[in-house]
Chains A and B, each alone.
Chain A
Amino acid sequence: MAANTYPDPRVSRLINEFAVPVQFNVKEDPGARARYHGYWTPCISYQDVDGAEYRRSFGPLNSEQLLAELSLARGLRFVHSGRFEEGIEALEVALTYTEAVPPRHAENLYWLAAARYESSGEVKDLLDGWEDVRRLHPDTEWDSKTRLLLE
C-alpha cells in the first residue's frame, strides 16, 4: 500500500478530507498490534475522536478498494452514531467510489436504504433501497441480509 495505494492523489485527498491519519510500523512498535487489536497487517481502523471504531479492514487494498472503504466508513460513522441526515449525504457521495468495488457497492446501497428509513420513518425508503441491492447484487451477503428480513 505504501508503494501504490497511499501515493495515489485520490487516496490522499480523501484521507485528508475525512480524517487525521496515524501510522504504526509494527516492527518498530510491536505493542501497537495489541493496543489496536490488529495482529494481521495491513490493518486500518476508522474511529471518531473519542476512539469509537466504525470500520476496520485487514489485508492490503488497492486504490479503488481503499477509496470505497474510506467513503463507506465516513458514512457509517454517522449512521451508527444516529446522525442519519449526515450519513445519507456521506453514503450518497460514497456511491461514486463503491461503484468500482461491487461488494462495497452492495453494502453501500444496503446502509443507504437503512439510513433513509431511519431518517424518514418511511418503510418504502427501506424497501426501495433494498430492492436495488437485490436487483444489482443478487446472491451476495447483502442481498441475503435483505431477504432474511423481507421474506
Chain B
Amino acid sequence: MIQAITWRASVEEARMEARQQNKDVLIDLFNPG
C-alpha cells in the first residue's frame, strides 16, 4: 500500500526519526505564490 507523504515541520524531529529508521532527511522549501 502506498502511503501519502507526511511532511514534518521540524528538521530536528525529522533527523531523530530518520536516525531511528536508518533513513535520510529531505528538506523542501516552497513558496505557495
Contacts and interface: CB of A to CB of B under 8 A. Distances in A.
Interface string B1-33: 011111111110011011101011111111110
> Is the contact region of chain B dominated by helix, strand, or loop, or is it mixed?
mixed
A45 interface: yes
B22 to A, nearest CB: 9
B26 A44 contact: yes
A62 interface: no
> Is the contact region of chain A dominated by helix, strand, or loop, or is it mixed?
mixed
Contact of B26 (A1, A18, A33, A41): A18
A22 B28 contact: yes
B27 A24 contact: yes
Given A22-B14, A49-B15, A43 B4 contact: no
Given A19-B24, A48-B24, A36 B29 contact: yes
Contacts of B30: 1-2, 23-26, 41-42
Interface of A: 1-2, 6-7, 9, 11-13, 15-16, 18-27, 32-33, 36, 38, 41-51, 54, 70, 73-74, 77
Interface of B: 2-11, 14-15, 17-19, 21, 23-32
